[in-house]
Amino acid sequence: MIRKLNIFLMLTSAIAFVAVYGLKYSVEEVAKSKHELERQIEHQQADLSLLKADWSYLNQPGYLQPIILRHADQLSLQPIKQTQFGSLGDIPMRPVQPDTDAMTALFQSLEAGVDPVDKPIGGK
Amino acid sequence: MAVMTGEDAAPISLTGGRAFRGNLTRIRIRWVIAGLVGIFCIVGGRLVQLGAVVQDTSIEGRSQQEISASRPAILDRNGLEMAVDIRVPSLYAEPRRIIDVDDAVEKLRTVLPDLDAKWLRSKLSGDKGFVWIKRDLTPEVEDRIYQLGIPGLDFLTESKRFYPGGPEASHILGSVNVDNKGIGGIEQYMDGSGLAQLQSVGLAQGQNLAPVQLSIDMRVQHVMREQLLDALTRYHAHAAAAVMLDIHTGEVIALSSVPDFDPNDPSSMIAPYNGEPRMRFNRITAGKYELGSTFKTITIAGALDSGAVKMTDRFDARFGVRFGRFTIDDFHGQHRILSVPEVYKYSSNVGAIHIMQQWGKDNYRAFMTRVGFDDPLPIELPEKTTSYIPKKFADVTAATASFGHGISITPLHMAAAMAAFVNDGVYEPPTIYRRSPEQVKALAKRFISSQTSLEIRELMRLNALEGSGTVMDRQAQGYRVGGKTGTAEKVEHGRYSTSKDFNVFASAFPLDDPKYAMVVIVDEPHREGPTTGDTAGWNAGKTTGMIVANVAPMLGIAPNFSKAIDDQLVPPSIR
C-alpha cells in the first residue's frame, strides 16, 4: 500500500517537476515577447508622435508662406486684393429666353427614335 | 535498559526501555522540527526582508513616471497643433549589471562613434545603478543599439515638447524647461491648474491627455507677427506688439509682441536683443504704457454715456488750458470751437480736457474703475502687470489723463475696453481659451449703453475716413475699420522726450457689424520716408490696416465698397 503510494507520489513529483520546468520557460518566453511587444508599441508611438509633429510643422502658416513666396513667380500667385472679391449678387442671371430651337430639335429627334446620346444632333 | 529489583525477579524493564527510547526519539524529532522551523523562519524572514527593500527607481531625483510624463497637445481654434509632445528614446546604463565593460564600450562606439571611449569606460565601470549615456536619440539609432544586445543597457522614452510654429506664438505658449515644466505662458498656467499634480502621480502618460484648445487662430497670428516684424524694420522701431480680440466672446484671436523668442530653445527667452537685455517680454500683458490719445475714446465714451456731454455739444479749443505754469495745447491745433466728433477727429487735447471737466474728474476716475483699468487682467497668461492710475485725480492729472498721459495701462486693457465699446457696450473679459455661449452669457458686463456704443462706432469710423486713421483706411479699404491713434512721448530720465514716441492704434472692424477689436503699438518708431510722418497714424495705424487687409478674408469678412454703408455708419450730421 505504502509502496504504491510512494510510487504514485514519485511519479507526481516527476511530472510536477517537468511541468514547472516547462512553465518557467514558457513564462520566460511570454515575458520576452511581451517586452518585445511593449518595445514595439513604444517605438511606434514614438514614430507616431514624430510624424504628427512633422505634419503639424508642415501645416504651419509660417512654414507655408515662404514656400508660396518662392513659387509665386512660377505659379503666378498674388495676394488677393479687396476689389477681387465678388458676391452672389454680381453674377448675372440666366438668360431670360431659353434656347427653344435646340429643345424642339431634341424632342423631334427623340420622337423620331434617334437618341442624341448615340448620335449627336448636327452630325459628328 | 533493565532495572533489577531482585535476584529471581524477572526483568520488568521492557516497557520502560521502550518508553525511554520512545521519549528519546520524540525529543530528537522535536529538536529536528525546532531546527527546521528555525531554518524556515530565517528563510521566511529573509524573504520578507528582501520584499521590503524599496528599489530606488528614481533617476537623478525624478521618478521614471515624471520623466516619461507627457503634456497635452495645444491646438489653435482650427485644430492646428501649436505644441506637441514627441517621444524620444534616451540610452541609459546600469553599470553594476555590465559584465564586460571593454566589450560594451567597443560595441557601443560602432553605433555612437562620437562618444569618447575613455569617458564611456569610466561611465560604464563602477557600481552605480543608473547613468545616462546619451539622450534624445532617433528611433533608428535605438534599434541599432538594441541589436547589439549588450546587457545592462536600456532605453527610457522621454517626452519632449516641440512647438511646430517656432516663434510664431511664443508669448502665448511660453516654454518648458528640461524637466518638462512650464516656464511662462500658457504652459506655466497649465502646470498651475492641475497638470503638475497629474504628472507627479503618473496619470499623465502617453497619449491619454486630451488636447487643450486655445482661442488663437494661427493664420491670423502668423500674419500679425509678420506685419509687426515688417513694422520693426520699416520704422526702425524699438519694439512692436499687437493683440486682436473677438469682441463677442473676449477670446484672443492673436497676440504677438516682437522681439520674441523661440519656445523650442527656452534660453532664447532671455537672450539680449540688439545688445539690450529684457527686451523679449510680452508687451501686451506685461508692459504698461501711457497710451496717449487712444484714451480720448475712453473719455468721450464715458462722458457721452453719463449724459453730461452730448454729441452735439461744442467745446472751446481756441486757447490752451493753463494749470499753474503749464499750458496744455493741441498737437494738430485747430484753435477754434470744436464739436465732439471734431475733438475726436482732430485729436484735440484741449477739447478732451473740456469734455472731461464738463463730466467731472471724479466721474472720470470712477469710469476707469468701471471699465476694469484698476484690476489686474483676467487673462490666463502668468506674465501680467497692473495699471498705474492715481487713486484720486488732481485737476492737472485728470486733465492729462483725459488724453492718456500720466496714467499707464497695458495694451490688453485698452483692447478689452475697445471691444466692449463696440460690442454694444457689453464687456467680455479676455481669455486665451475657447469660451462657450453659456460662459459668454455668464461673464457679460455692461460698460456703456447701446446708444453710446453706436456713437463711439460712428466716431471711430469718422476718424478713419477723415481723421488720423486715413493712412490705415487706405490699407484696409472695404473692411470698414475704424479706430483712434495715440502718440505719446516716452518718459526718459523723468521727463517727456521730444524725440522718442510710443505709438498706439486702437481699432475695431467691420464697424457696420463689429466682430474684432485690435490694438497695435509701435515703440520708438521713425519716419518711413521723407514724405511720411512719425505720428501713430503713419506707423501703428498703417500696420493695423495691413493686418486687417490680410486677415479679414481669413476671418470671413467680405470687403464692401458701397458708399451707403459709410453714409449710414457716419451720418452727415457728425461730419
Q: Considering the domain boundaries, does residue A28 fall inside one? A: yes
What number is the average pLDDT over the span A19-43?
92
Closest CA to A106 of A122, A89, A121, A86: A121
pLDDT band at A124 (very low <50, low <70, confident <90, very high): very low
Domain range holding A45? 1-67
pLDDT tens-digit series, residues B383-433:
999 999 999 999 999 999 999 999 999 999 999 999 999 999 999 999 999
For every residue of B296-320, which 3-state class applies, written as one string?
HHHHHHHHHHHCCCCCCCEEECCCC
Which residues of B fall within a CB distance of 8 Å from A47? 139
More confident of the two residues A119 and B141: B141
Q: Which of 33-62 (A) contact B at CB < 8 A?
A: 39, 42-43, 45-47, 49-50, 52-53, 56-57, 59-62
Chain A environment of B145 (Cβ under 8 Å): none
Residue A12 lies in a domain: yes
The answer, for A113 touching chain B at a CB cutoff of 8 Å, is no
Residue from B355, B350, B320 nearest B340 by CA: B355
CB B559 to CB A59 under 8 A?
no
Do the Cβ atoms of B488 and B505 come closer than 8 Å?
A: no
Query: Any idea of the CA torsion for B165, B168, B172, B174, to the nearest 10 degrees?
Result: 70
Q: What is the CA radius of gyration of chain A?
A: 41
- Output the DSSP codes for A29-66: HHHHHHHHHHHHHHHHHHHHHHHHHHHHHHT-HHHHHH
CB pairs under 8 A between A and B: 77
Q: Do B89 and A46 touch (CB under 8 A)?
A: yes
Q: What is the pLDDT of residue B42?
A: 96
Q: Is residue A33 part of a domain?
A: yes
Q: Binning pLDDT at 50, 70 and 90, where does residue A25 land?
A: very high
* List of residues 6+ apart from B236 with CB closer than 8 A: B525, B526
Q: Does B84-162 match B220-574 in CATH topology?
A: no
Is there a domain that residue A36 lies in? yes
Nearest by Cα to B95 from B67, B135, B137, B132: B132
pLDDT for position A123: 47
Q: Rounded to 5 degrees, what angle do the CA atoms B379, B381, B382 make? A: 115
CB B540 within 8 A of CB B521: yes
Which residues of chain A neighbour B162 with C-beta distances below 8 Å? 53
Q: Is residue A87 situated within a structural domain? A: no
pLDDT for position B1: 46
Q: Is residue A50 part of a domain?
A: yes
Helices vs. strands in chain A: H and E counts, helices first: 3, 0
Is residue A104 one of the residues assigned to a domain? no
Question: Of 3.90.1310.10, 3.30.160.270, 3.40.50.620, 3.40.50.920, which CATH number belongs to B84-162?
Answer: 3.90.1310.10
Q: Do B157 and A46 make contact, defined as CB atoms within 8 angstroms? A: yes
Segments in chain B below pLDDT 50: 1-2
pLDDT computed for residue A92 by the predictor: 81
CB contact under 8 A, B84 and A59: no
Chain A residues whose CB is inside 8 A of the B213 CB are none
Alpha-carbon distance values, B179 to B160, B501, B521 (Å): 9, 42, 35
Contact between chains at A43 and B86 (C-beta distance less than 8 A): no
Q: Is the pLDDT of residue A97 over 90?
A: no
Question: In terms of C-beta density within 10 A (0-12 exposed, 13-18 middle, 19 or more buried), how is residue B334 classed?
Answer: middle
Nearest to B150 by CA among B105, B189, B112, B217: B105
Which of B89, B142, B218 lies closest to A61 in CB terms?
A: B218
Give the gap in angstroms from C-alpha A69 to the nearest C-alpha of chain B: 13
The helix/strand/coil state of B485 is: strand
pLDDT score at B204: 66
Chain A contact for B564 (CB, 8 A cutoff): no
pLDDT of residue A96: 74
Task: Choose from A32, A43, A67 for mutation: most chain B CBs within 10 A.
Answer: A43
Spans of all domains in chain B: 84-162, 220-574
Domain count, chain A: 1
| Contact criterion met (CB < 8 Å) for B550 and A52 | no
Tell me the mean pLDDT in the region A17-42. 93
> What pLDDT does B249 receive?
95
Chain A closest-CA separation from residue B351 CA (Å): 36
Q: Given this model, what pLDDT does residue B562 score? A: 86
CATH classification (class only), B220-574: alpha beta
